Amino acid sequence: TDGLTVRGLTVRYGGTTAVAGVDLDVQAGEVVALLGPSGSGKSSLLRAIAGLEPPPGGTVRWNGTDVTDLPVHRRGFGLLFQDGQLFPHRSVAGNVGYGLTGRPRDERASRVAELLGLVGLEGYERRAITSLSGGQAQRVALARSLAPAPRLLLLDEPLSALDRGLRERLTGDLCRILRATGTTALYVTHDHDEAFTVADRVAVLIDGRLVQVERPAQIWRAP
C-alpha cells in the first residue's frame, strides 16, 4: 500500500461521465504517464486525484490513508499545469520559495538556489517572471512545485504550450529531474513520445476507462 491507490474513481459533469470507475496504483518513487486522446478524461482523473473536482465516486489513498475527502492543500500533492501559473509580480525566488513559508530565511534561500540549479536556472533568483522565456517559466514552475518535496507530483500536460524542439529537450530534463529527486509522479499527456520517455509505466485512458497499464516496452503503440 505504499504510494497512490485509486479505486473506482468516477467523475461526472451533468450527464457526461468523464472518468468511469478507474483503478490505478502509483508506487512510491515511480513515474506513471497517463496517456490518451483529447477528451478521454485524463485531466478530470488528475484533477479528481488532486482534489480539484467535486467529490467523485470512488476513493483516493496515499500510503493506505484515505484522502478522498481532504481539500487540495491537505493532500500533500504538488501540481504543475500547462501554464505554470507563476505569480507575475514576484521574482523567480519569490515564486520558487512560495511553498516554503515558515522556514528560516537562509534555509529557504539555499533550497531555492538548489532547485534553480536542478532545473538549469542557476542564479536566476532576482529575475522578473515577465523577463523569462516560455521554457524558462515552465522550469521555474517545476522548481516551485518541487520545492516543498511533495509526496506525489501531478503534472497535466506540463510541456504542451512549448514548441516542439523545446518540448523534446525539456522532456529529457524533466525525466532526469524526477529521477534525481526520487519524485513519485503522475504525468498527463496526449503525446506518445513524452509518455514513453518520462514514465516507468504508461496508463492508457480511452473514454474514461483505463485500457492498459504497462511498462513502455509492452505498450501497444498507435500507428
Residues of this chain that interact with ligand ADP (CB under 6 A) are 13, 16, 18, 36, 38-44, 90-91, 93-94, 97, 100, 105, 108-109, 112-113, 125-126
Asked if 94 and 126 count as a contact pair (C-beta separation under 8 A), the reply is no
Q: How far apart are CA 85 and CA 79, in angstroms?
A: 11
Q: Which three cell numbers stand for residue 17?
A: 461521465
Task: Provide, rounded to whole angstroms, the least separation between the CB of residue 1 and ligand ADP.
Answer: 27
Comparison of 73 and 126: residue with beta carbon closer to ligand ADP: 126
Task: Provide, rounded to whole angstroms, the least separation between the CB of residue 87 and ligand ADP.
Answer: 8
Residue sitting closest to ligand ADP (CB): 94
Asked if 50 and 72 count as a contact pair (C-beta separation under 8 A), the reply is yes
Task: Provide, rounded to whole angstroms, the least separation between the CB of residue 191 and ligand ADP.
Answer: 12
Task: Provide, rounded to whole angstroms, the least separation between the CB of residue 117 and ligand ADP.
Answer: 11
Comparison of 101 and 221: residue with beta carbon closer to ligand ADP: 101
Residue type, 9: L
Comparison of 15 and 64: residue with beta carbon closer to ligand ADP: 15
Residue 34, CA distances (Å) to 19, 44, 53, 154 in order: 13, 11, 18, 10
- Tell which residue, 190, 85, 196, has the closest CA to residue 145: 85
Comparison of 117 and 172: residue with beta carbon closer to ligand ADP: 117
Comparison of 109 and 169: residue with beta carbon closer to ligand ADP: 109
Task: Provide, rounded to whole angstroms, the least separation between the CB of residue 171 and ligand ADP.
Answer: 19
Q: How far apart are CA 107 and CA 130, in angstroms?
A: 26
Q: How far apart are CA 121 and CA 99, in angstroms?
A: 18
